[in-house]
Chain A
């Protein structure tokens, strides 16, 4: 028996009738961080996370590593183990079933074509700390109706009936479930409805994240039950004992911006500078002067206030603030989608300002004096390397986000 402390979800604001799509500054990693932070917010600060499963089919880097950026963005120490796993909904349930206390499982869908989203689940220590989850059955089969090669080439066999009857159909038959599921991840709404007891909630995604969106959907079901994740020929079924605590970071839907992409030379990167800045930049930490306590972003050898060069240490920065000044770049910039807004944000309660891009709102809609929170985004791709940093997510675009619900045990 595994105990779920909380589920966190994240959806980008951009999208339409066919689901949400990535913002220009998002990838699987920034989505994973947003969902993981939502799960941690739902669970509260007590739990010690010891390992992270990052399950997606859109890992930003196959060589070069995503683990350190993931830990830094979530705010976990750099001695936590990270498993980067290529997989879909069944793989997420496999990682969750039997996971030890302190495990964070994150499922992310981040394909360019959408629908995209991310969800995370945190495994608690004891039975009393959450909702029990148990493996009911698993079947691993092959029916690659949809496939993607290593280089990214996508193929579609285009036979929906074959997929339904010999894929999901046979998988469910093999599982020999004791009763009907209440939610199914990985199927179109109509097919899911046909398999379920009652009318299951519609999920925003169909891949790795869908399995955990299904757990979150138990809030709408109002009770626990059998939850099924399927992917082409494979399926995993879990029994959930109740309704987990769910923290949603799911802003209201916005039509995607019309962006201009201008080709040009690679944006250069200095990996020496990248490495020096990494911790402060991805953890949103300032350098705090050992002598006078003044904060500096970025950290600097000589204190910006007292001039001491005796040393400094990293300290977390507030993640909310107010726009001091803001401009919007309309002119085409090679390598960056335009238009975009750049703001200097006065952080709350500290004498620190940050120069950041605006995210989650159409360019030009944020004004001086507006408030927002700082979130991890992919600032640029530089010579093939994703360069992560923080962006301002204005409160005006954020009214529906940050809601905690559920927890019926």
Chain B
């Protein structure tokens, strides 16, 4: 396989874009990416595209991407893999280049969550992930899917609800300097602990907001990288992991096996381990998920995640900064865009251009978990070619 580099990255701000449809968000993200390619991009160079979108807004996704971004003469493939869609789109595009099939490809992720009424969103989204006869009618709202894990995790580990609040406080603080973030304000542990209960044990500040947005990356082969930049970011590892889809079939709910499988695959491909990661964007759709993921990604020992958040290890300035962008919690979470936007953030981190820069970051990891909790995708990026 050939080496693959990211040479351009861009995204829209995340937020409730009532005034912008998917047909606006997609060209905005792609054009911002193109404008940030160091040596410029002739759009005619793009040979193929992978588009991650979890839902469909305004029609069928690949056609809309091709039509709205001026890419009518290349193949476009839609990737849908629940909340792991973004990093899985990166993974598929990576193989398109690494295989030798293409030299220059586009990865786009987007979703318009706030396109349907708040009342109809829940049942529409539940239908995407739940068994129609057995689980769907139970009212397993998105936070409940993850809360079932976190409730058991809090029962078995020394972590407490206060540790969940600390994750929210950290990610809100990180998001303040990010111009693309949806929630750019700091909160306190007390505020988080006293906010309204959404799904116990999650309060309001344990949950990601609902977001619209799009993000784009340009991936190229090592053969043509010099045409676009002298400071590429290399895709060193990709991985995808799955699990049983029904919660009642998951033996140990204090861990997410898909994350363990996806990260193991990505670490193996990169030839590194968790100790080599300088900065990570971790799927904190709910605060407790970030804690469990520290353990699944190998950043902490089993049930030791609380120590990392308690001691500031995962804050910017700590030894293992997590979610310098603000994470899903503060930056926002349009599912298809989320994983791609994590790579946008890490592209900037690894080039020393991030708004909340981690000093000397050389190797980074992006992580999604979704489906609820049945699929994970991990991408490892590095300024080092390897």
B120 within 8 A of A: yes
Residues of A within 8 A of B155 (CB): 325, 368
Query: In the complex, what distance in Å separates the CA atom of A281 from the CA atom of B138?
Result: 13
CB nearest neighbor in A for B139: A336
Give the segment of A55-63, A102-110, A151-159, A269-277 that binds chain B.
A269-277
- Chain A hits for B200, CB < 8 A: 327-328, 330, 364
A334 touches B119 (CB 8 A): yes
> In the complex the two chains form, is B143's CB within 8 Å of A331's CB?
yes
Residues of B within 8 A of A324 (CB): 152, 253
Q: How far is the CA of A357 from the CA of B147 in the complex (A)?
A: 14
The answer for the CA separation of A274 and B137 in the assembled complex, in Å, is 11
B149 interfacial by beta-carbon distance below 8 Å: yes
Is A379 an interface position by the 8 A CB rule?
Answer: yes
Q: Are B253 and A389 in contact (CB under 8 A)?
A: no
- From 245 to 265 in chain B, residues with beta carbon under 8 angstroms from any chain A beta carbon are 246-249, 253
Which of B128-136, B215-223, B228-236 faces chain A? B128-136
A344 within 8 A of B: yes
Number of A-B contacts (CB under 8 A): 110
**Chain A 161-182, CB within 8 Å of chain B: the 1/0 string?**
0000000000000000000000
Residues A368 and B137 in contact, CB atoms below 8 Å apart = no
Is A213 among interface residues, defined by CB-CB distance under 8 A? no
| Residue in contact with B132 in the complex, picked from A273, A328, A333, A368, CB distance below 8 Å | A273
Which residues on the B side are within 8 Å of A83 (C-beta)? none
Contact mask B264-298 → A, CB, 8 Å, 1/0? 00000000000000000000000000000000000
- A380 contacts which chain B residues (CB < 8 A)? 137-139
Q: A304 at the A/B interface (Cβ < 8 Å)?
A: yes
A264 and B141 CA atoms in complex are apart in Å by 15
User: Is A340 in the interface zone, CB < 8 Å from B?
Assistant: yes
Q: Would B137 and A333 count as touching, CB distance under 8 A?
A: no
- Report Cα–Cα, A353/B244, bound state, in Å: 13
Binds A, one of B22-30, B191-199, B313-321: B191-199
Residues of chain A with a CB closer than 8 A to B149's CB = 325
Cβ-based interface call for A261 (8 A):
no
Inter-chain contacts of B120 with A (CB < 8 A)? 264-265, 334
Closest-by-CB residue of B relative to A356 is B138
Contacting pair B247 A355 (CB below 8 A): yes
Which of B137, B143, B197 meets A382, CB within 8 Å? Answer: B137
Binary contact readout A368-409 vs B (1 if CB under 8 angstroms, 0 otherwise): 100000000001101000010100000000000000000000
Least CB separation from B244: chain A residue: A304
User: Which single member of B137, B140, B141 contacts A331 (CB below 8 Å)?
Assistant: B141
Q: Complex: how many Å from CA A297 to CA B244?
A: 13
Given known A-B contacts A273-B132, A298-B134, A304-B249, A333 and B152 have beta carbons under 8 A apart? no
Taking CB atoms and an 8 Å cut-off, the chain B residues in 87-130 that contact chain A are 119-120, 122-123, 127
**Count of chain B residues with a beta carbon within 8 Å of a chain A beta carbon:** 35
Q: Is A22 positioned at the interface, with any CB of B under 8 Å from its CB?
A: no
Q: A334 with B123: in contact, given A327-B148, A329-B139, A379-B137 (CB under 8 Å)?
A: yes
Q: In the complex, A335 Cα to B123 Cα: how many Å?
A: 10
Other-chain contact of A342, B127, B138, B246, B253 (Cβ < 8 Å):
B138
Closest chain A CB from B151 CB (angstroms): 5
A350 CB-CB contact with B under 8 Å:
no
A333 and B197 in contact (CB under 8 A), knowing A267-B123, A327-B144, A344-B253?
no
B196 and A330 form a contact (CB under 8 A): yes
Does the CB pair A267–B151 fall under 8 Å?
Answer: no
Residue of A355, A368, A387 with most partner-chain B CB within 10 A: A355
Task: List residues of chain A with CB within 8 A of the CB of B140.
Answer: 342, 355
The verdict on B312 contacting chain A, using a C-beta distance below 8 Å, is: no
- The contact of A270 among B132, B144, B201, by CB within 8 Å, is B132
Instruction: Give the docked Cα–Cα distance between A265 and B196 (Å).
Output: 25
Residues 276-297 (chain A) with a chain B CB within 8 angstroms: 276-277, 281, 297
A-B contact pairs, 27 of them (CB 8 A): A262-B119, A264-B123, A268-B123, A269-B132, A273-B132, A277-B133, A281-B133, A324-B253, A325-B148, A325-B155, A325-B253, A327-B148, A329-B139, A330-B199, A330-B200, A331-B141, A331-B143, A342-B138, A342-B140, A342-B148, A344-B247, A356-B138, A357-B138, A357-B139, A379-B137, A380-B138, A387-B137
Given contact pairs A269-B132, A344-B148, A356-B138, a sample of 15 additional A-B residue pairs in the complex whose CB atoms are under 8 Å apart: A270-B133, A298-B134, A327-B144, A327-B151, A327-B200, A329-B141, A329-B143, A330-B200, A333-B122, A334-B122, A335-B123, A342-B138, A342-B144, A355-B248, A389-B137
Which 9 A-B pairs rank lowest in CB-CB distance, beginning with the nearest?
Answer: A277-B133, A380-B137, A325-B152, A327-B147, A273-B133, A264-B119, A273-B132, A353-B248, A328-B200
Interface residues of A (CB under 8 A from B): 262-265, 267-270, 273-274, 276-277, 281, 297-298, 304, 324-331, 333-336, 340, 342, 344, 352-357, 364, 368, 379-380, 382, 387, 389
